[in-house]
A and B are shown apart, each in its own frame.
Chain A
């Protein structure tokens, strides 16, 4: 029996064990070559974990006394998160080397954080949720301050930590309320609790608890009104770390949010729907308007991330299977767009200096036509302009909202997309039509080239071959609605 328990959590166990091994390897080889070795080993670890998740049995299996669940939903989200971690770790390597902060701890921290994300997606009780959430977050706080010789990076780490601790507190407070009023922290028991009662209501205390839990999750998602850390942390943290923030933890938090609201509180859609709608509208509006005035591309992407979380939440607000399906499709597409975009930012250099200002995109079309093409693909896709993948993400969540009569929510989504289109398209204009006094550096590292190319191809060709992503997302969403 215990053996099968371990098998269910094999990918996570492997990841954690590998993380420990890498830590030791790094400790004994504390040189730049060692850092490179650890980083490459970490890439291999993530790839193997990805394979382990892919070959795992698709059936629902529960382990560790109901604290851990592996189902189609967890499997799908794990694949997406692992891809995000893999992609961002790959593009981090050359960046860290150039910035002179190539240390083996980076890859180890990424591995531990990814293990936290993976556990998070399989969390089946609030206890497991909290532990994995902290396992995910603590390495991230350190990573934000990784470039510790600069004020900005240190400040980013501190801010992230303080606000993150506040959010953790809120989440815990909410969990204790839910526990006090329902008597359980297990998702399955919560689901079963009111299953046979027609028209059952959540106890008021538990409802207040849900509000606090939502606040804690909103912080991890970087959704309004708990978004304030994102622009500062995105800007301050080293770009490679920012890429990781935008890709992996956000996706893990979204997967967790979907599970929490669809599974234990799935029967009380009417109770939490308003919270999600409020967060979603706030995020879409702020994401759209906040981004306009930005000059720093990382800050802009932070706002863009806030907005995209808002769009994805439109699907969750529907509270239906097709809504969750929309969220999954949206987040998958978001992953490719955002990793690709950060790849472009990392590739943007002039005389060996990394560039972060939006105006630095000027002249890219002339100096690096292929990179410019990739940039245009990502920007048009982020703006939601067909036939690129980003459009279909929006289409799915909006349709789900309209199905349940949330027409106005979809309309707000479309209107904020219009505003959002402004700043994405301005970048395209800079890339193709403006010129800079000095040419950008040509050539980039193979890792960077590969990640950008894969992301761009997926984003551009989703319209032609939508089957793989759509099919697996459909199965994953079905797992939450048996």
Chain B
């Protein structure tokens, strides 16, 4: 834990002051953490792992558990190592900026979240850190928020990754439900059960959604280039070296649990391959160096995904190696572009030229990184590429497809490497670059260290190979991998493919102008508009929301009643349709003529209420309906109920009529169509209620209460009319209460009505 908390402490030291030592404090802390992790390399190289756990949320299987194995260590080293360099770079890049402290704190927070993500063993814990990286990256992308563009892009990146993150959460919960554990280290044991479960496809889709959105795979790739609105050091750190690789990390982490099946293999291969090729084409199209690099990052992420799909040890080793290679050269190039932007005044490729002399130290760094990117020997990139080809040939599903994808993408990488390393530095000096000069040491240090690393590890590949790549591949394949890492493999198919790649790359570089014009024409014809999908979804959601407000939430009370009734009717009909109420009432006797007359009167009252346009007539008709119902009560011997009903009806008619007379006239009356619609709803509700009621009456009523009153009314209360006895004896207190309530209500009504009159007289 001390290792993890070091950068925080350093950042806290740095916060209050702007002194150089304080500014570089976070970088030193991060470097210390990196050294701490490096000390663990021997343990990991021995194919063992370290796990620590504390209880956290008991009962849910969520604990604070951390695991350091090969996979976690590689990421931890990259995060802290590159983190240290980027922090130092930022401290120099933003020297004197009024929000430098805020930037450094956010970067350190992000670094910690990222570390938590890769070190967490518990999947829920990992998800917590996953979303923390999303949130902190949101704040980092929007750092330069005086620009409206930066703000919208920050929101876009946040939405896409947060949406994917929530899908991932659903996937994790399903994994937990199926496997019975949420510890990643315990998942391989449950792999067979997971893959055989009927929920496996759902798990796969959800987890892949999370991984693909985070790692900017097609068709979710668009947010990454858009997020280039972020300050350059932030892009270098988040969008090339660390955060976007979280998706790749997740895939790698879950490979032993979910990988190896047909759907896994094909989805990853095709999505990864398509992303890689499309992204490299887009990369050629760009003129902004930073955007070019962004697209090549997408390409790298696609390649990594593609190789993680391949279930062979060599493909996985290739993926891990390329991961390291890419982190080195891409971060270096990003930081170098930042230097160009700051010191040469532009990131546009067409505005830069002839910088070799005034910025020769930068050029050396860029050239070293670009050579590694293009995969020239003796750089680490060369080994990465050879391994990729070897791995591609070993991919179980479709070696030819993977090889084609890999060669095409790599050839375009060669071209892009040329673009970055040659165009800005050679040729005549441009006007923009007139005042170019070397950057300060702290800015130059980061890219230089990274670019040199690519060379050193290329010459001595076993430094990373045996120590990190093999243990990591072992973790993923579940079996010990001991691949030999050498610069020279002899003449074999991968070497042939490498030569082919260079030739193709040079051809593409030379034809770049024409390719770019062609792509621009294609774009004008609406090609590759994946971002419109995002816009479309957003617009659709907004339209749905607007519809909801317009149609359901109108603000009119009548409309609310309509909807509530409609839903009630739908529920009742659903119940009827399911056969729940298909019971006929028992003991239905013949209906007498007088009862029929009363029913007809009630029906007439109901229809009249609806049909009439006069409110007064309507309320009178409603009274008629109530009186008819009261009459029916009379026939069943419930005189008292009938009387109450009659009284209440009369009272309501009078009160409502008085109230209505004071209300303004309703204009305009609803149209005929609307009224027919209301009729439909009313009929549906009424018929359904009638059917439900008949069904209910067909079932057994609980007769205990009835029996009790039948027996007790005469013996205990000395009354033969049970209803009367209930009212004045058993429930006498209730009756008293009711009378009191009615009196109070009447008093209130009187007060309201008279007060209103007084008010009017007073105003006259």
- List A residues at the B interface (Cβ < 8 Å): 159, 162-163, 166, 177, 180-183, 203-205, 207-208, 211, 215, 225-226, 228-229, 231-232, 286, 289-294, 380, 383-387, 391-392, 395-396, 398-399, 402-403, 407, 410-411, 414-415, 417-419, 421-422, 425-426, 428-429, 432-434, 463, 466, 470, 474
Contact = CB atoms under 8 A, between A and B. Distances in A.
Contacts of A426: 155
Contact of B696 (A205, A232, A290, A294): A205
Interface string B128-154: 100110110011001001000011001
Contacts of B541: 289, 292, 419, 422
Given A293-B545, A414-B167, A429-B155, A229 B560 contact: yes
A408 to B, nearest CB: 9
Given A398-B170, A428-B138, 19 more contacts: A163-B564, A180-B701, A204-B581, A204-B583, A228-B563, A232-B555, A292-B542, A380-B135, A384-B166, A385-B165, A395-B60, A407-B177, A410-B170, A414-B169, A415-B170, A418-B163, A421-B166, A422-B538, A433-B150
Interface stretch (B452-460, B546-554, B672-680): B546-554
Interface in B401-441: none
B695 interface: yes
Given A204-B583, A407-B177, A293 B162 contact: no
Nearest to A228: B560
B173 interface: yes
12 contacts: A163-B564, A181-B701, A385-B165, A391-B128, A395-B60, A399-B60, A402-B174, A422-B538, A425-B138, A429-B155, A433-B155, A466-B56
B154 A433 contact: yes
B692 interface: yes
Interface of B: 56-57, 59-60, 124, 127-128, 131-132, 134-135, 138-139, 142, 145, 150-151, 154-155, 158-159, 162-163, 165-167, 169-170, 173-174, 176-177, 199, 202, 206, 538, 541-542, 544-546, 548-549, 552-553, 555, 557, 560-561, 563-564, 567-568, 571, 575, 580-581, 583, 692, 695-696, 699-702, 704-705
B614 to A, nearest CB: 22
A13 to B, nearest CB: 20
Given A228-B560, A402-B177, A293 B542 contact: yes
Nearest to B116: A387
A293 to B, nearest CB: 4
B702 A208 contact: no
B684 to A, nearest CB: 15
Contacts of A399: 60, 173, 176
A384 B162 CA distance: 10
The list of the 6 closest CB pairs from A to B, nearest first, reads A292-B545, A293-B545, A386-B128, A225-B567, A433-B151, A183-B702
Contacts of B553: 228, 231-232, 290
A421 B139 contact: no
B204 to A, nearest CB: 14
Contacts of A395: 60, 124, 169, 173
B145 A205 contact: no
A385 B583 contact: no
A162 B57 CA distance: 45
A215 B581 CA distance: 19
Given A180-B701, A399-B173, A429-B151, A418 B162 contact: yes
B702 A180 contact: yes
A466 B57 contact: yes
Contact of B142 (A163, A387, A402, A433): A433
A215 B173 contact: no
B151 to A, nearest CB: 4
A407 B174 contact: yes
Contacts of B145: 432-433
A166 B173 contact: no
Main secondary structure of the interface of B (DSSP, over half): helix
A310 to B, nearest CB: 15
B406 to A, nearest CB: 34
Contact of A385 (B135, B176, B548): B135
A163 B701 contact: no
Contacts of A228: 552-553, 560, 563-564
Given A180-B701, A432-B139, A432-B145, A417 B166 contact: yes
Contacts, number: 160
A208 B557 CA distance: 26
Contacts of B563: 225, 228
A386 B699 contact: no
Q: Is the interface of A mostly helix, strand, loop or mixed?
A: helix
A294 B206 CA distance: 30
A225 B564 contact: yes
B560 A204 contact: no
A183 B139 CA distance: 62
A215 B568 contact: yes
Given A183-B704, A385-B135, A387-B128, A425 B151 contact: no
A289 B142 contact: no
Contacts of B174: 402, 407
Contacts of A433: 142, 145, 150-151, 154-155
Contacts of B546: 293
Given A159-B557, A163-B560, A290-B549, A183 B170 contact: no
Contacts of B542: 292-293
Contacts of A290: 545, 548-549, 553
A290 B541 CA distance: 10
Nearest to B142: A433
Nearest to A426: B155
A183 B702 CA distance: 6
A203 B131 CA distance: 49
Nearest to A396: B60
A383 B699 CA distance: 47
A414 B560 contact: no
A380 B135 CA distance: 9
B564 A203 contact: no
B560 A411 contact: no
A422 B544 CA distance: 14
Nearest to A422: B159
Given A293-B542, A387-B128, A403-B177, A418 B166 contact: yes
A288 to B, nearest CB: 9
Contacts of A203: 699-700, 702
Nearest to B147: A433
Contacts of A182: 702
Contacts of A286: 548
Contacts of B700: 203
Contacts of B583: 204
Given A402-B177, A433-B151, A385 B701 contact: no
Nearest to B548: A290
A384 B174 CA distance: 18
Given A203-B702, A205-B701, A421 B163 contact: yes
Contact of B162 (A181, A385, A407): A385
B540 to A, nearest CB: 10
Q: Which of B56, B166, B575 has most A Cβ within 10 Å? A: B166
B408 to A, nearest CB: 34
A475 B705 CA distance: 37
Contacts of B705: 183
A115 to B, nearest CB: 19
Contacts of A229: 560
B127 A386 contact: yes
Nearest to B144: A433
A258 B563 CA distance: 26
Nearest to B139: A432
- A286, A391, A414: most-surrounded residue (chain B CB, <10 A): A414
Contacts of A402: 173-174, 176-177
A247 B321 CA distance: 54
A395 B122 CA distance: 14
A204 B695 contact: yes
A429 to B, nearest CB: 5
Nearest to A384: B166
